[in-house]
Amino acid sequence: MDGTLIDSASGIYESFEAVFKANNMKLPKREEISKYIGYTLQDMFAFLGVNRELVEQFSEEYKNYYVNICKQETKMLPNAINSIKLAYSFATLGIVTTKTSATSKKILAHFDVEKYFTTIIGREDVTQTKPDKEPILKAINNINKSGIYTENNNIFIIGDTILDLIAAQNAGINGIGVLCGFGEERHLREHSNVVVQDSLSAVKYIQTL
């Protein structure tokens, strides 16, 4: 979702900085934070130098701060709403994110696009996160339970990081990389033959298949 449909970078940076300041720790550079977007909060804080015994506390402080600013500090990426509407015209849509599903739904509802998604799988809905296959398989299972069944070769994940693309491989589905988020093109191309500019380009590509 982050870097694929929404631009939430300013809210993410602000929330990390607030937590580090509150705990009298040196602020990480924004470039460092952006390298780890897509991982769980616990992993991100650990990568940024927080002691493993404190990552749960820091993660809770982050969530408590972020939930109050997420709507005003998030915007839809260019073409994102058009890509959602186009995809909805011929496909069943779901979201797999390391954000909580509650926060994700709040953001999507704010932009009046939650209604287009049959399922939204967040951090609290799974045991393992991307790049593990569990979140994708849970999303597929939820869609199947809604009465829509699709073969894996007709299922696509569109993502901006290698975590998305590796998760797609692990789940046995197709992954498309997009360049509008946090991942570097050279890394995305290591895990997918299809890397395009943004989600609208990805949806248009899928539509031609």
Nearest to 1 by CA among 26, 38, 31: 38
Q: Residues 161, 39: contact at Cβ < 8 Å?
A: no
User: Where residue 122 sits, what CATH number does that domain have?
Assistant: 3.40.50.1000
Q: Tell me the β-bridge partners of 119.
A: 94
Buried b (16+ CB within 10 A) or exposed e, 177-201: bbebbbbeeeebeebbebbbebbbb
- Tell whether 153 and 127 lie within a shared domain: yes
- Tell whether 87 and 190 lie within a shared domain: yes
- Tell whether 11 and 106 lie within a shared domain: no
Domain range for 24 is: 6-66
Q: Is residue 98 part of a domain?
A: yes
Q: Is residue 1 part of a domain?
A: no
Q: What distances in angstroms separate CA 162 from CA 51, 78, 120, 194, one per listed residue? A: 26, 22, 20, 13
Which of 38, 66, 94 delimits the end of a domain?
66
pLDDT at residue number 173: 98
- Tell whether 46 and 143 lie within a shared domain: no
- Tell whether 119 and 140 lie within a shared domain: yes
Which of 66, 86, 107 delimits the end of a domain?
66
- Tell whether 52 and 91 lie within a shared domain: no
- Tell whether 122 and 60 lie within a shared domain: no
Q: How many domains does the chain have?
A: 2
Tell me which residue has tokens 């959602």: 84
Q: Residues 68, 188: contact at Cβ < 8 Å?
A: no
Q: What pLDDT tens digit does each residue of the chain (209 aa) get?
A: 999 999 999 999 999 999 999 999 999 999 999 999 999 999 999 999 999 999 999 999 999 999 999 999 999 999 999 999 999 999 999 999 999 999 999 999 999 999 999 999 999 999 999 999 999 999 999 999 988 888 899 999 999 999 999 999 999 999 999 999 999 999 999 999 999 999 999 999 999 99
- Tell whether 100 and 153 lie within a shared domain: yes
In angstroms, the CA 156 to CA 110 distance is 25
pLDDT at residue number 15: 98
Q: Is residue 21 part of a domain?
A: yes
In angstroms, the CA 209 to CA 206 distance is 5
- Tell whether 18 and 56 lie within a shared domain: yes
In angstroms, the CA 178 to CA 20 distance is 31
- Tell whether 99 and 197 lie within a shared domain: yes
- Tell whether 117 and 166 lie within a shared domain: yes
DSSP helix/strand/coil, 76: strand
Which of 66, 93, 111 delimits the end of a domain?
66
Question: Can you give the pTM of this predicted structure?
Answer: 0.93
User: Where residue 62 sits, what CATH number does that domain have?
Assistant: 1.10.150
Read off the DSSP letter of residue 29: P
In angstroms, the CA 94 to CA 3 distance is 16
DSSP helix/strand/coil, 84: helix
In angstroms, the CA 1 to CA 153 distance is 22
State the DSSP H helix or E strand holding residue 128, giving kind and residue range, or none if neither: none
- Tell whether 88 and 141 lie within a shared domain: yes
